[in-house]
Amino acid sequence: MNAGDYLKSKSQETETALETCLTSWKGAPPKLMEAIRYSLFAGGKRLRPALALGAAEIVSGDQQVALPLACALEMIHTYSLVHDDLPAMDDDELRRGKPTSHKQYDEATAILVGDALQSMAFEEITRTGHSDVVREVARAAGVSGMVGGQYLDIQGENKQLSLEELQKIHRCKTGALIAVSCRCGAQLGKGTVEEIDALTHYGEHIGLAFQITDDILDVVGDEAELGKPVGSDEGLHKSTYPALLGLEESRNLAQKAVDDALDALESFDEIADGFRALATYIIERKN
């Protein structure tokens, strides 16, 4: 199983569902919907939806039950990018090679695009009928998850962080939502407690591998392939894995996280091959 093909097939399912969701919004201001669409269809990899769909498929053979969750996760991820790019936050002008939302429109629109996407995400998850899934996603997205991590990240600029502090930031900022994608996908697929735990651990490990690789790409990546400037972490004086550990040790740590992710999948047969390919892809990707 090729990771690119796997991501692509899950991504197509997600895009169709996102399209259906957006066109169902009658009565909303058309220009605001256009700005939402601009960011939501900006060429993201749809990693979180792929994890939600894949986890449901692994435990039940059916990924459809997780489609509303997949859409919601992409909406939450997109809202966080739109807000993170704002001048008061990371002040980024390019995202995936295109002007960021506040450059393409204006700051007020970008703030409201993010706010609207978050509400839309929670409405979308209610289609699953599972209050506990809404709760887990809200927790992963909020003050002790993604938003809390972004806050710590900004507070950590221009400071020398310890490895422990850096890991805490990333566990919150990106790890929590990636792990909950796997976890809630498995819950919607009615996996056993052991299956849900195994896929949660897989998500935690690839989340770590993903973030270390992001830091490495910001040092050694190709600007054209990344679609954003390299060296932006250094410009913001952010603590990163390469800055703290050096490139080689960072690569070792990422590989260790991938190995741990693969171990977590041990009890699954070839139905989890897509997830296995994905784990390796995450540290080998160029963007």
What CA–CA distance (Å, rounded) separates 108 from 88?
Answer: 12
219 binds its own copies, rule: CB under 8 A: no
89 binds its own copies, rule: CB under 8 A: yes
Question: Residue type at 250?
Answer: S
For helices 47-60 and 3-23, what crossing angle results, to 10°? Answer: 100
Q: How far is the CB of 115 from its own copies (least distance, A)?
A: 5
Q: Which of 4, 41, 143, 223 binds its own copies (CB under 8 A)?
A: 143
Q: Which stretch binds its own copies (CB under 8 A): 150-158, 204-212, 218-226, 271-279?
A: 150-158
Q: How far is the CB of 70 from its own copies (least distance, A)?
A: 17
147 binds its own copies, rule: CB under 8 A: yes
8 binds its own copies, rule: CB under 8 A: no
- Is the CB of residue 180 less than 8 Å from the CB of residue 49? no
Q: Give the helix ranges, DSSP H, for the chain.
A: 3-23, 30-40, 47-60, 67-84, 101-104, 107-125, 131-141, 146-155, 163-170, 176-188, 193-220, 223-226, 232-235, 241-245, 247-264, 273-284
- Is the CB of residue 244 less than 8 Å from the CB of residue 268? no
Tell which residue, 119, 121, 113, has the closest CA to residue 81. Answer: 113
Q: Which stretch binds its own copies (CB under 8 A): 19-27, 200-208, 222-230, 277-285?
A: 19-27
Q: Which stretch binds its own copies (CB under 8 A): 126-134, 180-188, 231-239, 244-252?
A: 126-134
What is the number of helices (H) and of strands (E) in the chain? 16, 2
Q: How many angstroms separate the Cα of 181 from the Cα of each of 38, 68, 258?
A: 23, 12, 17
Q: How far is the CB of 113 from its own copies (least distance, A)?
A: 9
237 binds its own copies, rule: CB under 8 A: no
Query: 3-class SS at 98?
Result: strand
- Is the CB of residue 218 less than 8 Å from the CB of residue 230? yes
Nearer to its own copies, 19 or 273 (CB): 19
Instruction: Write the interaction track for its own copies spanning residues 24-43; mark x where CB under 8 A is met and - where it is not.
Output: -xxxxx-xxx--x-------
Element (H, E) at 32: helix 30-40
Q: Which stretch binds its own copies (CB under 8 A): 128-136, 199-207, 269-277, 278-286?
A: 128-136
Instruction: Write the interaction track for its own copies spanning residues 96-125; mark x where CB under 8 A is met and - where it is not.
Output: ----------xxxx-xx-xxx-xxx-xx--
What CA–CA distance (Å, rounded) separates 85 from 73?
Answer: 18
Q: Which of 138, 236, 245, 283 binds its own copies (CB under 8 A)?
A: 138
- Tell me, by CB under 8 A, how many residues bind its own copies: 51
Contacts with its own copies, residue ranges (CB under 8 A): 25-29, 31-33, 36, 79-80, 83, 86, 88-89, 106-109, 111-112, 114-116, 118-120, 122-123, 126, 128-132, 134-135, 138-139, 141-145, 147-148, 150-152, 154-155
